């Protein structure tokens, strides 16, 4: 059974869910999610002989939400993972991330390869630092309409999303899923700042089979404190670019796995399809070619739990030996 507790990490308190015994596997969720995003993975990974821990990351769920926007930088987030591993009584762990959790996982492996035994990213590929700040790049490319830029308008997105949290989450999960019409058209997530994001999103009459009303209940409750902490991650995109300057040109050397859906909007971001195609030569630590899941949207481990579990267990057991 999954057990829950609070744990002191890196100067804050994190809520964690855990199950199993054996080598530690840390599962990192993305936006707008929570530890519950991994509920399909706990049992299978524990049964395969691993100790599985999924936190609500800082700014989410029952974990602390620092007021300072700068407290959500990639260095803070990596520090949380390293501190969590230590607080759990371990020196090393396998780290898996989805959506925003993937950059945290990749950067933990990049910055602390001594701590990470193996790293897997779902949806978001490994980081290769660009030549200019990402918010500036997207501002110019999409005339300020890319969702990253919308999220950086002070107080705007959180006010829109909090008016009806349950509807917000229902629309988000459907929009980015493989079930949504046009999900395979390589569309970009653009927002009219005057209308907001939700106005043009479909509110499905029936949820996809993989996302139940109970799942939505848990997720809605986790955002009862609002969206500001979660959005603050996006408000550090340019700061992260500045902070990671010392690692310009560095490549993740830890054994790695990358899994994504062919109907996911993130791998269709500008330049990303080309990056994914070149990953095997750019990153020799990949244990196999990127795994592309047919018909899968953005919510990788929830939409395709069987395939994701098989890939993760195969990768982790191979490394464990």
Answer whether 175's CB lies under 8 Å from 202's CB. yes
- Verify whether residue 217 is a known catalytic residue: no
Tell me which of 56, 64, 99, 264 is the catalytic residue.
99
Closest CA to 174 of 142, 215, 141: 215
- The HSE-up count of residue 196 (CA atoms within 13 Å, CB side) is 14
For residue 190, the 8-state DSSP code is: B
Phi-psi region of 107 (alpha: psi -120 to 50; beta: other; left: phi over 0): alpha
Alpha helices by DSSP H, the chain: 42-47, 74-87, 101-111, 134-142, 147-151, 156-162, 165-175, 213-222, 228-231, 237-243, 272-282, 300-303, 305-320
Which listed residue (29, 39, 76, 298) is catalytic?
298
298 classed as catalytic: yes
Q: In the sheet where 93-98 sits, what is the strand order? A: 3-9, 12-19, 51-55, 24-28, 93-98, 116-122, 256-261, 291-293
* Residue 262 CB-density burial (10 A; 0-12 exposed, 13-18 middle, 19+ buried): middle
**Which candidate, 206, 129, 200, 199, places its Cα nearest to that of 170?**
206
Known catalytic residues are 99, 298
């Amino acid at each position: 059974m999954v057990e829950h507790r609070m744990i002191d990490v890196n100067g804050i308190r994190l809520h964690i869910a855990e199950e199993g015994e054996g080598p530690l596997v840390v599962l990192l969720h993305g936006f707008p999610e929570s530890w519950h995003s991994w509920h399909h993975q706990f049992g299978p990974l524990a049964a395969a002989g691993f100790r599985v821990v999924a936190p609500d990351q800082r700014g989410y769920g029952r974990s602390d939400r620092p007021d300072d926007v700068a407290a959500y930088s990639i260095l803070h987030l990596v520090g949380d993972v390293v501190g969590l591993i230590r607080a759990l009584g371990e020196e090393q762990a396998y780290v898996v991330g989805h959506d925003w959790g993937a950059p945290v996982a990749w950067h933990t492996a990049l910055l602390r390869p001594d701590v990470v035994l193996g790293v897997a990213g779902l949806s978001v590929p490994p980081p290769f630092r660009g030549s200019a700040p990402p918010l500036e790049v997207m501002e110019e490319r999409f005339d300020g309409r890319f969702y990253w830029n919308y999220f950086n308008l002070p107080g705007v997105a959180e006010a829109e999303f909090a008016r009806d949290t349950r509807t917000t989450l229902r629309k988000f999960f459907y929009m980015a899923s493989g079930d949504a019409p046009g999900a395979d058209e390589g569309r970009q997530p653009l927002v009219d700042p005057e209308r907001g994001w939700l106005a043009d999103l479909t509110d499905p009459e029936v949820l996809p089979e993989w996302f139940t009303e109970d799942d939505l209940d848990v997720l809605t409750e986790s955002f009862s404190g609002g969206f500001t902490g979660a959005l603050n991650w996006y408000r550090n995109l340019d700061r992260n670019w500045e902070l990671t300057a010392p690692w310009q040109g560095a490549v993740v050397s830890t054994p790695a796995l990358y899994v994504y859906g062919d109907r996911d909007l993130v791998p269709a971001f500008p330049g990303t399809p080309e990056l994914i195609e070149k990953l095997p030569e750019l990153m020799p630590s990949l244990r196999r070619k990127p795994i592309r899941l047919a018909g899968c949207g953005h919510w990788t481990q929830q939409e395709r739990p069987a395939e994701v579990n098989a890939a993760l267990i195969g990768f982790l057991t191979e490394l464990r030996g």
